[in-house]
């Protein structure tokens, strides 16, 4: 739903977009979690939005791991939806650009 709501694919097409490999770092059209995601880069109970910002900056500077560096990266998006569903929600979207 986040991919659809952010406009990366049409409503109802999020599952197909993911299944087609579009999110795979290093090869996909829209690489996400290039730092490996919560299970690889930090404790799964503390996904931490700051780590996503750090990775976005690394991508923009061209300092990410070579296997997942997005070639000629000029824009990065850090988006997170947190909180416990049904009781409280918090979300933020940050777009960074290299100029």
Tens of pLDDT, residue by residue, the chain (99 residues): 889 988 999 999 999 999 999 999 888 899 988 887 766 766 555 556 678 888 999 999 999 989 889 999 999 998 877 666 556 677 778 899 999
Give the pLDDT confidence score for residue 13 in this predicted structure: 96
CA dihedral 58, 28, 44, 40 (to 10 degrees): -60
Are 6 and 14 in contact by the 8 Å Cβ rule? The answer is no
pTM: 0.77
Give the pLDDT confidence score for residue 1 in this predicted structure: 83
Give the pLDDT confidence score for residue 48 in this predicted structure: 64
Burial label, 64 (beta-carbon count in 10 A; 0-12, 13-18, 19+): buried
Are 41 and 51 in contact by the 8 Å Cβ rule? The answer is yes
Tracing tokens 């988006």 back to the chain, one arrives at: 79
């Amino acid at each position: 739903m986040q991919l659809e709501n952010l406009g990366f694919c049409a409503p109802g097409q999020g599952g197909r977009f993911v299944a087609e490999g579009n999110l795979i770092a290093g090869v996909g059209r829209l690489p996400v979690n290039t730092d490996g995601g919560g299970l690889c880069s930090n404790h799964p109970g503390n996904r931490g939005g700051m780590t996503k910002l750090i990775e976005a900056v690394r991508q923009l500077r061209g300092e990410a791991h070579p296997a997942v560096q997005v070639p000629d990266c000029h824009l990065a998006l850090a988006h997170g939806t947190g909180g416990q569903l049904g009781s409280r929600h918090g979300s933020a979207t940050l777009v960074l650009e290299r100029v």
